Structure 1
Amino acid sequence: QQQQQQQESSSSHPGLCHMYIHLSEMSANPSRALPCCDQLRKGFPHGGHLIHMATHIDVLVGDYDSCVQYNYNAVAADDHAMKSCPSMMGKSAFYFGYIVHDYHMLVYGGILGGMEQIAMETALKLSQQHLSEDFFAKHPSMAPGLESYSVSEAHVMIRFGRWKEILQQLELPKDADLMLFRAATITFARGIAYANLGELENAKKEADKYDELRLRPATKERTLHNNKIHDILAVDAPMLRGEIAYHEGRHDEAFTLLREAVHLQDSLHYDEPWGKMQAVRHALGGLLLEQGIVKEAEDVFRKDLSLFPLNPFGLLGLIQCLQRQINNNTGSLTEEETNAKSEELKKLKEQLAHQRSSKWADVEIVVPCACCDSKLVQQE
């Protein structure tokens, strides 16, 4: 309460703004920190981390355009600082972790906001220029805390369904012990890719390799910010097995596994970005919708949008659920319920159109998750 009063009377103080954003981001009303965000954006154009801090709130209120734009600005400021003062801002300095975090948040905003090109460009710059295997070979003591940021491009490829590119372009590290999170994440991505391409035996082999990597003792010693990578990798184990089961036609088993993955994702410690870079609910909801389990899919997408407001994948999923219910109404909905759903549907479509008007929104989103069949999800 005292900090809130100070913020209201001295909202231009960068230290107070910084702390108030952290206080508000874990609250039920993160938007109350937006005035502080504006102060940091306008007042410190060369302060990479201060520019970035505003995006902790942007992403929580569904402003993925600002999340990407201001992390883009933060990265530019960071690059300048690294060149100007390498002793304090270089890769061996404490601040380097903050620089990595700015890149990471930009990729996260791009993934959630459906902005592929900027997300991929940033992810590749992070992994190739800053967090390469050669870098960690020279600085192995930095691997436990930073290596987990080195594989963002795999998350971008999964988000946008680049299955062939995953298999053709993502190379496993030479030293899987040194680059443990990267090795495990690429293996997971390969398994998801094979499952979606119908190569299920190969997918199962990758799932077995993934389990071996994620269960190595070192995963309990390494972190991605607030979470152990052991716990993050645990989320993707049932997700991968669930995808395989689904594409084998074992739908009930698949949904049980995907629900488990959702539970594990929800159980991760609070972090921004989340430890798991993309929402498992998009896969669960989309595949439920494919199978005509519309009410549960609707519940899944509503919960998703409560966690990631206005994200286009959740919006589209809920739109498709409501559209299916309205089109297939055989008397189960009253006229009042039908009208209410129609009004909500109109609002959701407007929100989606606005979100896709961003200059960074460069892909057409036709399914809630790339693992879905657009013809089945969109059927009436």
Structure 2
Amino acid sequence: MKKVMQIVTLSLFSLYLLALVACYKKNKAPTDAAINAMNLKRGKIPICGPADKQFGAVGFITSCSDKTQVEFDLAMALLHSFEYDEAEKAFAKVIDKTPDCAMAYWGVAMSNYHPLWAPPSETELQKGAKAVAIAQSIQQKSKREADYINAIAMFYKDWDKADHRTRAIRYEKAMEKLYKEFPEDKEAALFYALALTAAADPADKSFKNQKQAGALLNALYANEPNHPGVVHYIIHAFDSPELAELALPAARKYAAIAPSSAHALHMPSHIFTRLGLWDESIRSNLASVSSAQCYAEQTGIKGHWDEELHGLDYLVYAYLQKGQNELAMKQWNYLKTMNEVHPVNFKVAYAFASIPSRYLLENKMWVEAASLKTLHPNLHWDEYPWQKAIVHFTRVLGSVHTDNFTTAETELKNLRNCYDTLVAQKDAYKANEVLIQVKTAEAWLLFKQSKLPEALAQMYTAADMEDGTEKHPVTPGEVLPARELLGDMLLQMNKPQEALKAYEADLKRHHNRFNGLYGAGLAAEKSNNPEKAKYYYQQLTNIANATDSKRRELDGAKLYLNRMDVAGL
């Protein structure tokens, strides 16, 4: 009997050891080697705003230790304002304190996805995939947390085989499932709304995804007035001419919710730009640029931070619409002083290409446009064919308008090469954007060669293509809208009534554009339509009301309005 008892005791002890080992394995934290292999961003998180109100209020419940809840909520707030580097730093702090917190690794994966921006780099994809693998290996997590982790896993799955859009749609579908399973989880609704907007088809003019996202976000807005993600994602969901008015209240509030975020300070200008509210856009981007400069100084960036250039592009665009050339040129001259920008990415390349191009094309400085040189900070232009195409497009139009057809043909060939590169890269959206520029350039070359019917047909095609395509969030707008250029061509063909229709149609998509308003006023004047001429010229003088506006077009508009006043009309 004693021997039996010894056997039983030994068996029970063995079972205890097995259970202990199983428990250890179940709750075992990731190894230091696995964590170090992610090469997480670490460091102090800069504060470039008021101490009492920095990034907004977020509360995300997890099964992780309470001692990291403050850091986790800060990481979430940063994530919702697209402060991805800083969000990763904050999630890294959580991992350092509680390496068995599965959701902290989810946060790292989310910080390297950045929907609505450029697709993640290979380095970011590898980091995100590693973070997902660690998160999935940690057993101590809730069903809800596992679903969050498995959802982002769908984005990183086969990242080296499946294209970005396919993976973005997979993530959106996974978030839809999660949201439906946890309908009371506001964060699930937020991330599902963002996923819907990110996966939207740019050619879908019904805005199905965006409207669905907007409905989810508006339902949250009343009870979450200080949540950065709610107002931020409303702006993105309604960032189109047709829907922008719906986001105006959110746009006017976002900066106050997260004043320490340069992106939050800038983001309202997306809606201000859509609605032609130039003074508000200028204030928004001046604040954003200043915050970005503060960020670069506090983090020790050598040179400039990319978010500063993003704000500068929108700032220059707004100045040009108010006819404030001197202030726009001041920003361009400042851009010329930048020899180094970090990180080097699509936003940086876009700003370096678009800012000088906008200035020259908006002001019809054709000689200077024909010889525009690319600035050379620390980037390689061949890696950015979409942005490089903007410079070639500027040179084409400049060359055509100065009757330098040999150079125009050369630059048109370069433009087509950019298109071919994007087609080869299977980047359908950017390829389409460049194709619109190709057709526009071809139209003006045909026009200057007196092939008027062919020129007009090609210009109409370009305008229709552009109307059917939404702009990328990186840009405040095309360097010159195709339908506005169509109006210019029709005016030069002495077809003022058709030109007026083109300008009016374009102004519905590009509210309060300087050249659109002037073109509409001039076309109406030449069409013997004094009522509309007065309306558009008055709109122009109201918009370009700064004392330092020196555009010649303003003089013509004011002279016409004075004549109308004298005549009592």
Both proteins in one fold, TM over 0.5: yes
One-letter amino acid of the counterpart of residue 237, structure 1 = V
CA distance in 1, matches of 2:446, 2:483: 17
1:355 aligned residue (543, 549, 557): 543
Shift of 1:125: 4.3
1:345–1:246 distance in 2 versus 1, CA, 3 Å: same
Shift of 1:229: 3.1
Higher relative contact order (CA closer than 8 Å, sequence separation 6+): 1
Runs of 4+ residues over 6 Å off in structure 1: 172-175
1:251–1:163 distance in 2 versus 1, CA, 3 Å: same
2:510 aligned residue (308, 316, 328): 308
Q: Deviations over 1:197-251 (max 9, x none)?
A: 12223322322233234323577366xxxx7432222111111121122222222
Shift of 1:80: 0.8
CA distance in 1, matches of 2:442, 2:508: 27
Q: Which runs of 5+ in 1 are unaligned?
A: 327-340, 369-380
2:413 corresponds to 1:212? no
1:277 is matched with which residue? 479
Q: Deviations over 1:326-365 (max 9, x none)?
A: 2xxxxxxxxxxxxxx5444433232111111036745333
Does the residue aligned with 2:527 lie in a helix, a strand or coil?
helix
Shift of 1:84: 0.8
Q: Deviations over 1:1-40 (max 9, x none)?
A: 4532432455444332222222333474423433332323
1:30–1:276 distance in 2 versus 1, CA, 3 Å: closer
CA distance in 1, matches of 2:283, 2:239: 19
2:273 corresponds to 1:72? no
Does the residue aligned with 2:483 lie in a helix, a strand or coil?
helix
Does the residue aligned with 2:553 lie in a helix, a strand or coil?
coil
CA distance in 2, matches of 1:203, 1:24: 38
One-letter amino acid of the counterpart of residue 164, structure 1 = V
1:23–1:360 distance in 2 versus 1, CA, 3 Å: farther
2:524 aligned residue (322, 329, 337): 322
- Of 260-269 and 179-188, deviating more is 179-188
1:190 is matched with which residue? 395
Question: Would you say the 8 A contact 1:220–1:230 is kept in 2?
Answer: no
Question: Would you say the 8 A contact 2:385–2:422 is kept in 1?
Answer: no
2:175 is matched with which residue? none
2:368 corresponds to 1:165? yes
1:217–1:128 distance in 2 versus 1, CA, 3 Å: farther
1:45-194 correspondence runs (5 A): 45-86=259-300, 98-123=307-332, 125-126=334-335, 129=338, 142=344, 147-152=349-354, 153-168=356-371, 170-171=373-374, 177-178=382-383, 180-194=385-399
- Whose Rg is larger? 2
1:214-293 correspondence runs (5 A): 214-216=419-421, 220=425, 228-272=429-473, 273=475, 276-293=478-495
One-letter amino acid of the counterpart of residue 324, structure 1 = K
Q: Deviations over 1:43-86 (max 9, x none)?
A: 55443211111111111111123223321221111111111124
After superposition, the CA RMSD in angstroms is: 3.4
One-letter amino acid of the counterpart of residue 249, structure 1 = S
State the TM-score, normalizing by the size of structure 2: 0.52
1:367–1:285 distance in 2 versus 1, CA, 3 Å: farther
CA distance in 1, matches of 2:510, 2:523: 18
2:107 is matched with which residue? none
Q: Deviations over 1:241-267 (max 9, x none)?
A: 211222222222211121122123223
Shift of 1:126: 4.8
Shift of 1:308: 1.0
1:342–1:76 distance in 2 versus 1, CA, 3 Å: same
2:496 is matched with which residue? 294
1:18 is matched with which residue? 232
CA distance in 2, matches of 1:210, 1:75: 31
Does the residue aligned with 2:551 lie in a helix, a strand or coil?
coil
CA distance in 2, matches of 1:77, 1:187: 32
Shift of 1:165: 2.3
One-letter amino acid of the counterpart of residue 106, structure 1 = L
CA distance in 2, matches of 1:110, 1:215: 34
Shift of 1:128: 5.6
One-letter amino acid of the counterpart of residue 489, structure 2 = L
State the TM-score, normalizing by the size of structure 1: 0.75
CA distance in 2, matches of 1:282, 1:27: 16
Q: Which runs of 5+ in 2 are unaligned?
A: 1-214, 557-569
Identity of aligned residues (%): 17
Question: Would you say the 8 A contact 2:227–2:257 is kept in 1?
Answer: no
Q: Deviations over 1:74-120 (max 9, x none)?
A: 11111111111247x997xxxx5544432332233344554434334
CA distance in 2, matches of 1:284, 1:79: 39
One-letter amino acid of the counterpart of residue 255, structure 1 = L
